[in-house]
Each structure stands twice: as structure tokens, then as C-alpha cells.
């Protein structure tokens, strides 16, 4: 009995140490965001809110935030429209070449983002030279790049959810006179609405946070917020980025606290399980 209690306490202490190790960088960023030193002197010699005021008034960060929100929203809508039927097909159909299709579809999960960005840069430039349509450096070019990165996550989450929907429900709707599209819309989609919400939020956050691939396909007029942060760090070393990071962390925690009120626990579990595959 004493041995089991000791083991449990040891595991709890180990877990607490691991969590403290993981949270320590966030705590340092949080403290540094109030640092009165313009050169990130540590430990801070004083505390100020000036960096938050500077970040909120910065036109580049304001423009980058708007661009990130627009690009994230549009690309999320695109991958949901494309990913939903793809996920349904992967969950329901068993056709020749399915393994090859999955390899191509999920390749962005294993290929480095820098390699994807360079490949898209070459593709966009070559396509522009051949057709006169130049997606490089345009809003839709960035949306396309983000959609390529987000599609595998959306398909993985939705395919897992479609796999748990009993086909009998859809067959019953067909027997009652529904067309295939009506049966899918009325009998299947309502059962995966939680997964749709999770995948859309996951896709939006992925797009909003993307920087490596975006650097290769973006121009200054449509820089996203992460790219603006990257450019800022090349010129300045003050705590402004720490202040902006704290605001983004707070936004992330807000999303994490809001999601459980709309999504069932099973859908959240499938989200994390799909992300590990």
C-alpha cells in the first residue's frame, strides 16, 4: 500500500516537473512583455505596458492581423468544402489506388514546410510564366498555399468521424426517398458537426500560425501577422514581440476554453488522435 502511494506521488511530482519545464518559456515571455528595458535586459529592471501599446498601434501588425484573419477564414472554408467529400470517400469507398491517394494527400504532414514553400514558389513562378496568371505574391496564392497545408488535417479528422457513422442511417434515408446528396446532408452531416467545428478551428489556427511556407509565396502588401513578426525581429530586439506573443497566447487559451462548450469530448479526442497519425 505504501509502495503504491509512493509511486503515485513520484509520478505526480514528475508530471509537475515536466509541466513546469514546458510552461517555463511561456512564463519568461509573459514577464518579458512587461520589461521596461528596450534591449530585453534580464532580469527586468522595471515593468511597463508601453510594449502592448506599441504593438496595438503598429500599422504593420494591424495589417498583418487583418490579412491573417482573412486568409485563415477563406482557406478554412475552402478546405472544408474540399476535405469533407474527400474524407467521406476515404471512410466509405474501397477503390484501387486508395493507398497512393492517401500518400499524396497526407504528404504535407511529413514534408518540411520550408520544402513545401520553395516548391510552391517555383510552381507559382513557372505557372505565371506559362499562362500569364501570376499567383505568386497574391492573396489567392497565399490562400492556396495554406489550403495545401491544412487539407490533410481536415481530412484526417473528418475521415475518423465519418468512419464512426453507421452506414445504415444513410441507407435508411435513401430507402425513405432521399437522394444521395440529401441523405448525406440530412442523415450524415448532423452526426459529424462536432468534427466539422473542430477541424475548422484547427485549420484556422494552422493557417493563422503559418510562417515557413508563407515566406516563400507572400509579398509585403499581404504579409500575414507571423511574417510581420519575423520581419520585425530582423530589425528590432525590444519586448514588442513578447507582448504580441502574450496576446496570441491569450487568444489561444480563449479558444481552448470555448471549444468544450460546443464540441463533445469524443470529437476532441479524435482530433488529437488524428493529429498523432
Mean pLDDT of the chain: 82
Task: Locate the domains of the chain by residue range.
Answer: 59-275
Q: Are 55 and 244 a contacting pair, CB within 8 Å?
A: yes
Q: Give the model's pLDDT for residue 158.
A: 87
Q: Give the model's pLDDT for residue 276.
A: 43
Q: Nine-digit cell at 243?
A: 507582448
At residue 124, the 3 state secondary structure works out as: helix
**Mean pLDDT score, 211-218:** 89
Thinking of the domain 59-275, which architecture would CATH place it in?
Orthogonal Bundle (1.10)
At residue 211, the 3 state secondary structure works out as: coil
**Mean pLDDT score, 35-52:** 81
- Interval 50-104: pLDDT, tens: 889 888 998 989 999 999 999 999 999 999 999 888 888 888 777 777 777 778 7
Give burial (CB, 10 Å; 0-12/13-18/19+) of 157.
Answer: buried
Task: Output the 3-class SS for 3-27.
Answer: HHHHHHHHHHHHHHHHHHHHHHHHH
Amino acid at each position: 500500500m505504501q509502495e503504491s502511494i509512493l509511486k503515485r506521488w513520484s509520478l505526480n511530482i514528475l508530471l509537475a516537473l515536466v509541466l513546469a519545464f514546458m510552461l517555463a518559456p511561456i512564463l519568461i515571455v509573459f514577464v518579458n512583455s512587461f520589461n521596461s528595458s528596450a534591449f530585453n535586459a534580464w532580469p527586468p529592471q522595471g515593468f511597463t505596458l508601453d510594449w502592448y501599446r506599441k504593438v496595438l498601434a503598429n500599422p504593420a501588425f494591424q495589417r498583418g492581423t487583418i490579412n491573417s484573419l482573412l486568409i485563415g477564414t477563406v482557406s478554412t472554408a475552402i478546405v472544408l468544402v474540399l476535405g469533407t467529400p474527400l474524407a467521406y470517400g476515404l471512410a466509405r469507398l474501397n477503390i484501387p489506388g486508395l493507398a497512393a491517394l492517401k500518400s499524396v494527400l497526407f504528404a504535407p504532414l511529413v514534408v518540411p514546410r520550408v520544402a513545401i514553400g520553395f516548391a510552391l514558389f517555383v510552381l507559382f513562378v513557372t505557372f505565371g510564366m506559362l499562362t500569364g496568371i501570376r499567383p505568386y505574391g497574391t492573396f489567392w496564392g497565399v490562400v492556396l498555399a495554406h489550403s495545401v497545408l491544412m487539407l490533410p488535417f481536415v481530412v484526417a479528422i473528418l475521415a475518423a468521424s465519418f468512419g464512426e457513422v453507421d452506414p445504415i442511417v444513410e441507407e435508411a434515408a435513401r430507402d425513405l426517398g432521399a437522394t444521395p446528396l440529401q441523405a448525406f446532408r440530412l442523415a450524415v452531416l448532423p452526426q459529424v458537426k462536432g468534427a466539422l467545428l473542430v477541424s475548422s478551428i484547427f485549420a484556422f489556427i494552422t493557417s493563422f500560425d503559418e510562417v515557413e511556407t508563407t515566406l516563400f509565396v507572400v509579398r509585403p502588401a499581404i504579409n500575414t501577422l507571423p511574417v510581420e513578426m519575423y520581419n520585425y525581429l530582423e530589425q528590432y530586439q525590444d519586448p514588442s514581440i513578447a507582448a504580441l506573443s502574450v496576446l496570441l497566447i491569450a487568444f489561444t487559451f480563449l479558444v481552448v476554453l470555448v471549444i468544450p462548450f460546443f464540441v463533445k469530448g469524443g470529437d476532441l479526442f479524435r482530433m488529437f488522435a488524428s493529429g498523432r497519425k
